Each structure stands twice: as structure tokens, then as C-alpha cells.
Amino acid sequence: MITFKYYITTPLYYVNAKAHIGHAYTNIATDVLARWHRLKGEDVFFLTGTDEHGKKVETSAEKAKKDPQKFVDEISKKFKDVWKTLNISYGSFIRTTDSKHKKAVYEVLRRMQDRGDIYKGVYEGWYCTPCESYWTETQLKEDKCPSCGRSVEKLKEESYFFKLSKYQKPLLELYKNNPGFISPEHRKQEIINRVKEGLRDLSITRTSFDWGIKYPGDDKHIVYVWVDALTNYISALGFPDSNNYKKYWPADVHILGKEISWFHAVIWPAMLLSIGEKPPKKLFIHGWLTIDGKKMSKSVGNVIDPVEMSKKYSSDSLRYFLLREIPFGHDGDFSEKTLKEKINNELVADLGNLVNRTLTMTEKFKGKLEGKDELSKEFNLKKIEGFIDNYEFHHALDEIWNFIRAANRYINDKEPWKLEGKELANVLYNLLESLRIISILVSSFMPDTSIKMNKQLGVKTGSLKDCKFGKLSGKPKKGDLLFQKIKT
Ligand code: ME8
């Protein structure tokens, strides 16, 4: 049997502050995909990590009165702790301060130089430190950074340049020949339109700060943080000649937020074309979360801590909510009020209730649990798979919930409390088989819940091929309620 590989990545988060709900959103969505592909039996490489160089991190370390390396060590560890709380099943965590990463960056630069794609010049422009980006006068929006809206400062420095302009045509060809390269469609159009307007060569070194990878052969230059960070997607695999690199590259998908689409859709593939490596197969660009309708920011004081949320409501509830509430690829709003409503109306009333009712009746029943399939028509695995393959998590969950609701209706219709013997066995068999399958279907979204369900059902962890009737085994035993009703 051929085992397919699946290489999926998240962005590398800046370590200037701790992880917030926006970072959690990306990692949860990526985790769902990684887990889903494991359920399909694929060989998954799931990469996340931290972006640890640049002026922004250097300034944050200074403010904290810490040595930059010590500072990044601490924050990077905190990111790992958050991912543990949220059950993020990454297989590899790359830090841009890792020595294998630095080696890969040198190799990338060497190849770009060999190609004749790097030259020395002078850069003058408007610099946005939070975004670590230079902008031209015309790109500014009301004299502010067009990406984040914050103040910019004028800088002039000697710099090495990458001949990005040379790659305008090859990039447009890449987009044309690979229609699925950038999703969603409207994001792809934005990129194509901007690339058609023309590309300027990219300044790839800085001299205004120290904290970063030194440019080979010219120590006062530090490698631009984006050239450094983007290389993570191959350095983590051991680029250039490791077995992992050969096996997993090109990435099947990079998941990222909309504000960094330019770096991933233009600069990254141009770098790869320059060094003679394949571009990733796909970029999926998701939208931004607002908090109760407002932009999340430290100054407004509305930054949501995902760990606090998951301690309050469980990590599974948070995971479920984020993917059920917001169509992936669109902007969306995080509201604690809606989170509580979803927990009560969907997790407690539908799924929790179905498990509780079924296990309560099963515990009282002493006969053999057997019957004939009356419920499998209520779910369509192909449809669910199709939605997930299209990154439509909310539709996949809708479909799974239709099945859960159908099973609850089945109890109401059959009135098993009035039945006994074979008739009762048949109803219980159908419910237990449905729950076993539901547990598999929700496992990527809510891994803890699935484990708890399997324990109560007395079954082993299943995979997608077990999503059919006729596999019930083990001894069910009622446990604690899966979800607690929240006071609103
Ligand atoms: O940009 N809503 O790092 P970063 C949704 N180091 N997602 C959000 C979000 C929000 N409000 N805020 C952040 C960087 N994100 C670079 C990346 S990659 C080689 C280098 C998520 O710490 C989203 O995924 O600013 C966004 O793209 C990412 O965090 C930015 O994280």
C-alpha cells in the first residue's frame, strides 16, 4: 500500500510577546488538518515554531532588560507550553536561532549569489518595525504602514538586494499553471494584480541592528528577517540534502494569516525559484479575528489569552468554537458570549446529551448488543472529507452535527425506554455504532473529547476506514459528562 506524505506548516511566530488567540487560531486549524490526514493513514510532518531574530525582538529583549538569546529561549518555551495546552500535535518545532536553520539560510544565500541574483546597493525607504518591512512613499496609507497602520520611520542604509523583479514573469506563470496555489480565490487575485503591477528588487540585509544572522562575508549586515524566517520551511526538514527534505518537500500546504500573504506568495516562491527548488504546493490564507467586533490590541486591552480561555471552557470547546463559528479564509469575530452559547447549544445539548443518554441506557441493559444498521445513512463521509479538503471546517462540522442530531432524533422516535430484548438491543447497537463513528469524525477537532468517548464506549482509537457500521466491540461503561453547561 502506498502511504502518502503530507507536509503542513504554520507561520513562525515572533517571540516579542506571548501567544494570543490569533496565533492559536492558526495552529488549531493546522492541527485539525494534520490530525485529519493522520486519520486517513498518511505520513504527516507538521511544523510550527518561532521567529526569533530582527529589530522587533531585539527591542523587546532590551525593554525586558534581558540578553536576546535568553529572552527568546524563554518566550519560545512559552509558545510550546501554549501548544501543549491546546493539544497541538506538531511533529517538529523550528526556531530561527537553531544552528541547522542558520546553515540552511547560508546555503540559500550562497545559491542566490551563484545565480547572480544578489547585488549591493543603497536602500532608502519607510520602515515599519512591528512588521519588519520597508515601504515606499506611495505604498504608505496616510503616512502610516499599509499593513498594520502604525507609524513608520525613514531609513537609509547600504544593503544587499535580491533581484525579485527578475521573477515577475516566472511567478505569474506559477500562479497560472497551478490554479490551486493560492486560496481563497480572492486572495489569489489580489496577489496576481499586485505582481502584474511590477516587482521591485528586495533589500535582504539590514545594518541598523545586530540581532540576527550575519550576512556571510560582510559582518555588519544582518540577513533580513523575512528571508531568514521563510527559510524555516526547508531548514526544519534538513535542507539541502537530508532524507526528510527529499521525502517531504515541497510542502503540501502553508497555513497563514492574510497580512503575510505577500511574503509567502511572492518572496518565498521567488527565493525557491532562484535556488532551484520547488515551490510549495499550496498556500491557504485565513482571515483575521476581531474581539467583540474590535481589532485585538494591547493598547485597547482586549488581547485574548487562549490558555486562559481553555482553562475556563476546555481546550476542545475553544477548538470547536473557532472552527465552527468562523468560515476558514474569512475574517471572523471572537466573542466569549457566543462561545458559551455554542458550548451549551451544541456541545452540551447535542453531543454531550447523546453520549449521556446512550450510555445511561446501555449500562442498564444486560443482553447482547447487536442489531442491524439503521443510522449510517445519516452521515456521508465523502461529503465531510470533501469539505475538509476544501478547508471548509464549518461545513464539515455542520455535516457531523447533522449526524449527531439525527441520532438524538432516533432516540426520540424509537422511545427505547418503552422497549426491551432484541428491539432495545437494536436501538442501543445503532446508537453505540453511531457514537463510535462520531468519535472518529470529531477527533481532529476535539481530541480530548474523542478519547473520553472511546473510553466510555470501550473502543480503541479508530481511523477513517473504521467509519462504518459493524465494528462494535468492547464493553461500554458510562463516565463523567463530556461537557458542563455554562451559566450565561
Ligand atoms: O508575522 N487573527 O509572526 P506573527 C488571526 N514571524 N490570526 C492571527 C491574528 C488575528 N488577529 N493575529 C496573528 C509573523 N495571527 C512572522 C511570520 S512566517 C515565515 C513568519 C496569526 O507573530 C496569523 O497566522 O506576527 C498570522 O499570519 C500570524 O499569527 C502572524 O504571527
Nearest-atom number in ligand 1 for the CA of 260 is 27
Least Cα distance to 393 among 464, 330, 463 occurs for: 330
How far is the centre of ligand 1, averaged over its atoms, from the C-alpha of 361 (Å)? 47
Task: Label residue 298 by pLDDT band (50, 70, 90).
Answer: confident
What is the span of the domain harbouring residue 213? 5-286
Distances (CA, A) of 308 to 63, 208, 305, 433: 25, 38, 5, 35
CA dihedral over 206, 57, 103, 30, signed as positive or negative: negative
CATH number of the domain that residue 86 is part of: 3.40.50.620
Helix axis angle for 393-414 and 353-364, nearest 10°, is: 40
**pLDDT value of position 148:** 86
Inside any domain, residue 306:
no
**Cell triple for 374:** 439503521
* Residues with Cβ within 8 Å of residue 58, at least 6 apart in sequence: 68, 209, 210, 211
How far is the centre of ligand 1, averaged over its atoms, from the C-alpha of 155 (Å)? 25
Inside any domain, residue 476:
no
Verify that 275 and 393 share a domain, yes or no.
Answer: no
Residue 433 has phi, psi (to 5 degrees) of -65, -40
Q: How far apart are CA 218 and CA 109, in angstroms?
A: 13
Inside any domain, residue 330:
no
Which residue(s) pair with 13 in the sheet?
A: 50
152 alpha carbon, distance to own chain's centre: 30
Verify that 265 and 374 share a domain, yes or no.
Answer: no
The average pLDDT across 220-241 equals 97
Verify that 264 and 343 share a domain, yes or no.
Answer: no
Verify that 244 and 356 share a domain, yes or no.
Answer: no
Verify that 273 and 362 share a domain, yes or no.
Answer: no
- Tens of pLDDT, residue by residue over 17-29, are 899 999 999 999 9
Task: Label residue 80 by pLDDT band (50, 70, 90).
Answer: very high
Verify that 16 and 80 share a domain, yes or no.
Answer: yes
Distances (CA, A) of 412 to 358, 417, 432: 12, 10, 16
Q: Which of 13, 78, 93 to mutate to test the pocket of ligand 1 (most atoms within 8 A of CB)?
A: 13
Inside any domain, residue 33:
yes
Inside any domain, residue 297:
no
- Tens of pLDDT, residue by residue over 344-367, are 999 999 999 999 999 999 999 999
Verify that 110 and 227 share a domain, yes or no.
Answer: yes
How far is the centre of ligand 1, averaged over its atoms, from the C-alpha of 147 (Å)? 12
**Out of 233-247, 377-391, 473-487, least confident range:** 473-487
Inside any domain, residue 99:
yes
**Mean pLDDT, the chain, as a whole number?**
96
Verify that 282 and 367 share a domain, yes or no.
Answer: no
Residue 26 near ligand 1, beta carbon < 6 Å: yes
**Cell triple for 394:** 464549518
The average pLDDT across 224-236 equals 97
* Residues with Cβ within 8 Å of residue 442, at least 6 apart in sequence: 351, 400, 449, 450, 453
pLDDT above 70 covers what percent of the chain?
100
Verify that 233 and 348 share a domain, yes or no.
Answer: no
How far is the centre of ligand 1, averaged over its atoms, from the C-alpha of 22 (Å)? 7
**pLDDT value of position 124:** 86
- Domain end: 251, 286, 321, which one? 286
Task: Label residue 156 by pLDDT band (50, 70, 90).
Answer: confident
Strands 289-291 and 332-334: parallel
Residue 260 near ligand 1, beta carbon < 6 Å: yes
State the DSSP code for 430: H
**Cell triple for 123:** 536602500
How far is the centre of ligand 1, averaged over its atoms, from the C-alpha of 60 (Å)? 17
Q: Count the domains in the chain.
A: 2
**Out of 82-91, 154-163, 257-266, 425-434, least confident range:** 154-163
**pLDDT value of position 353:** 98
- Mind giving me the DSSP string for 286-327? E--EEETTEE--TTTT----HHHHHHHH-HHHHHHHHHHHS-
pLDDT tops 90 at residue 100: yes
Verify that 352 and 280 share a domain, yes or no.
Answer: no
Q: How far apart are CA 391 and CA 328, in angstroms?
A: 7
Q: How many CA atoms lie within 13 A of 189 on its CB side?
A: 3
Inside any domain, residue 38:
yes
State the DSSP code for 259: G
Nearest-atom number in ligand 1 for the CA of 11 is 18
| Burial class (CB within 10 angstroms; exposed 0-12, middle 13-18, buried 19+) of 85 | middle
CATH number of the domain that residue 418 is part of: 1.10.730.10
Nearest-atom number in ligand 1 for the CA of 229 is 19
**Cell triple for 239:** 535542507
Residue 25 near ligand 1, beta carbon < 6 Å: yes
Distances (CA, A) of 321 to 28, 346, 482: 11, 10, 16
Q: Report which protein residue has its CA nearest ligand 1's atom 10.
A: 22
Residue 14 near ligand 1, beta carbon < 6 Å: yes
* Residues with Cβ within 8 Å of residue 345, at least 6 apart in sequence: none
Q: What is the CA radius of gyration of the chain?
A: 25
**Cell triple for 77:** 518555551
The average pLDDT across 263-277 equals 98
Q: Report which protein residue has its CA nearest ligand 1's atom 14.
A: 13
Verify that 207 and 65 share a domain, yes or no.
Answer: yes
Inside any domain, residue 314:
no
5 alpha carbon, distance to own chain's centre: 18
Q: How far apart are CA 256 and CA 285, in angstroms?
A: 5
